[in-house]
């Protein structure tokens, strides 16, 4: 059971231009993903619910890492998306679509050198600018729903103990309005998520692979505590990383087995 203390809701906002989303603004919550998860468990979550927290006190990233950011200068929100007849084998397409949607939105602010650090970190100038955490809900052989958490550093300039982090403002040397950034993200996510099942899988994989950080370069990886070098070649349809070893053999690896180093 999740407990929320001192949780104050702002007035709900309904967008006129992007009316699909039901936007819920919160003063504070431990995790926007957990907030939607609790709503789902109670049977009161609806397709298009979007929770935006002014302060996310216990945000999570991949591999149970904490998402650490300055509430005043960052944007954290989660979306609840349902599907009809979506095969479980295709669930990584959600991550691809969300990643591409975020990059398309950030392009409008002239953020340079945007790319994707597999599986779902957004990079700018070789530093992490945004992170995605997707928690899928399955029923038998179908993906029924996703809770999609997104965190973006907007105007933060100091990242103590996080040498590989950056923000939109740090990259373009100009502060941005959070509402403006949110509106651009919301528009692109609607395009990405709600046309997902009609988009060519091959096109989505190709677009995602073309934006991979360190693609076709010798990169340092770690697996089971051991580091090694290989060439990142792309991703498989199921989202496995394709890497070419020193013998020229291309192998598949998942995010639970392998990680990429920043310093290389």
- Record: fold of 13-210: BirA Bifunctional Protein; domain 2 (3.30.930)
Is residue 64 scored above 70 in pLDDT?
no
Residue 127 to residues 102, 164, 261: CA-CA distances in angstroms?
15, 5, 12
Lowest mean pLDDT among 67-71, 72-76, 183-187, 250-254: 67-71
Mean pLDDT, the chain, whole residue set: 86
pLDDT of residue 165: 92
Q: Is-same-fold flag (13-210; 218-260)?
A: no
User: Is the model's pLDDT at 211 over the cut of 70?
Assistant: yes
User: Which of 60-74, 95-109, 164-178, 209-223 is predicted with the least confidence, judged by mean pLDDT?
Assistant: 60-74
Q: Which residue has the higher pLDDT, 100 or 140?
A: 100
CA 152/CA 88 separation, integer angstroms:
28
Domain ranges within the chain, ordered by starting residue: 13-210, 218-260
Annotation: CATH topology of 218-260 = SH3 type barrels. (2.30.30)
Render pLDDT for 66-108 as a digit per residue (tens, 0 to 9). 545 566 889 999 999 999 888 888 899 999 999 999 999 999 9
List 78's β-bridge partners, or say none. 51, 149
| pLDDT class of 63 with cuts at 50, 70, 90 | very low
The answer on pLDDT for 15 being more than 50 is no
| Strands 74-87 and 250-253, bridge-based pairing | unpaired
Alpha-carbon torsion angle 34, 38, 40, 41, nearest 10: 130
């Amino acid at each position: 059971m999740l407990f929320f203390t001192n949780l104050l809701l702002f007035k709900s906002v309904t967008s006129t231009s992007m009316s699909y989303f039901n936007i819920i603004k919160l003063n504070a919550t431990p995790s926007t993903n957990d907030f939607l998860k609790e709503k789902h468990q109670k049977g009161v979550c609806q397709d298009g619910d979007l929770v935006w927290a002014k302060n996310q006190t216990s945000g999570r990233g991949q591999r149970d890492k904490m998402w650490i950011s300055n509430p005043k200068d960052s944007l954290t929100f989660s979306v609840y998306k349902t599907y009809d007849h979506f095969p479980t084998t295709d669930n990584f397409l959600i991550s691809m679509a969300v990643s591409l949607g975020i990059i398309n939105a950030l392009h409008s602010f002239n953020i340079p050198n945007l790319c994707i650090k597999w599986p779902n970190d957004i990079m700018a100038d070789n530093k992490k600018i945004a992170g995605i955490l997707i928690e899928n809900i399955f029923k038998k052989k179908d993906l029924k729903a996703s809770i999609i958490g997104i965190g973006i550093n907007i105007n933060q300039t100091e990242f103590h103990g996080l040498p590989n982090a950056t923000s939109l403002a740090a990259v373009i040397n100009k502060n941005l309005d959070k509402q403006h950034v949110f509106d651009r993200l919301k528009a692109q996510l609607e395009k990405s998520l709600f046309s997902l099942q009609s988009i060519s899988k091959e096109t989505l994989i190709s677009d995602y692979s073309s934006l991979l950080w360190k693609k076709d370069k010798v990169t340092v990886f770690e697996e089971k505590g051991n580091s090694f070098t290989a060439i990142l070649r792309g991703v498989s349809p199921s989202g496995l990383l394709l890497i070419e070893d020193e013998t020229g053999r291309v192998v598949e690896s998942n995010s639970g087995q392998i990680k990429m180093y920043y310093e290389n």
